[in-house]
Chain A
Amino acid sequence: MSSELDLDRVYDHHAQALYAYLLNLTRDEQDTRDSLQEVFIKLARQAEILEKARDQRAFLIRLAHNAAIDLMRRRGARVGNQNQFASEQISPFAPATDPDEQSFRTELTNALNQLPSDQRVVVHLKLWQGLTFEQIADVLGVSPNTAASRYRYGLDKLRVLLRPLYEEIK
């Protein structure tokens, strides 16, 4: 029954990060939940795969990424509509009490929605997961240079989109 205890521990340690990543990737709470469920089903079936991983967080994010991609492929029609209705998606950020902060988070959500998916994912992994470019490259199956350039492109676009508001509330 040690695997059950491990599953609890893994959830408590990593589920929040996986949730944030999946929400950022899928822009849909139901898809996020389904992908997270897939990750934990895989872990419950093969508990040993996590023990073999060098970096558990990066490994779990890769599992989550693959689960979400599979899910989105299966739901192709829905994914096709996601960009169109991106502005209607829920905000991935926690609500703020300060109106300026809330306004910034809303604009940040909109700006992230305007990024291509590959840049948005890298920006998220770098800024909110704190992964290195090597780790990001490992998660996404790209070179570290590609990960770094995607981050730069994505960050530059965010800066352009958020500059007026950022300058105002700085």
Chain B
Amino acid sequence: MNTEDSFEQKLRRQPYREAPPRWREEILTGARLAATESSAARRPTSGLSFFAACRRNLTNWLWPHPTAWAGLAAIWLLILILNVTTRDSARPQLAGQSAPPSPELQELLREQEQMLADLIGPVEKSGTSEPKRRLPGPRSQRPVELLNI
């Protein structure tokens, strides 16, 4: 047992290396900074700092790929500009296309309309084409024939 004890004592006497002295300042500063940041994050945002909080959240969200987000925004802007400009320039073109047809064409259309009218007869007004459906009245007022059937 004496050998064991002396062996353990021998091991225990071996001194460990010292922690690098510069770590003290670095670690304590880092710890305090992290604690300050976390307490600031926990603090409720007032009305005035609402926009600041939004901006910070947006920055955090966009931060990983700012170039990609900027490129996407530019593409959307380009699409919007193109859309607005083509819509404005398309209107006069359509108006130009709807110019009155030539007299020959008008005559031809009139003849075709006449031919169609001869074939299908006089056009009835849509309001009188379908008789109104009558709702069934009370049982006592129904015709007797129906009851017999």
Contacts and interface: CB of A to CB of B under 8 A. Distances in A.
Q: Do A and B come from one complex?
A: yes
Interface of A: 4, 7-8, 11, 15-16, 19-20, 23, 33, 36-37, 40-41, 43-45, 91-94, 104-105, 108, 127-128, 155, 158-159, 162, 166, 170
A94 B18 contact: yes
Given A37-B31, A41-B34, A44-B32, A127 B8 contact: yes
Interface residue range, chain B: 20 to 34
Report whether over half of chain B's contact residues are helix, strand or loop; otherwise say mixed.
helix
Contacts of A16: 16, 18-19
A56 B71 CA distance: 54
A40 B27 contact: yes
Contacts, number: 82
A19 B31 contact: no
A32 B14 CA distance: 20
Contacts of A23: 16-17
Contact of A7 (B10, B11, B26, B32): B32
A102 B7 CA distance: 16
Contacts of A127: 8, 11-12
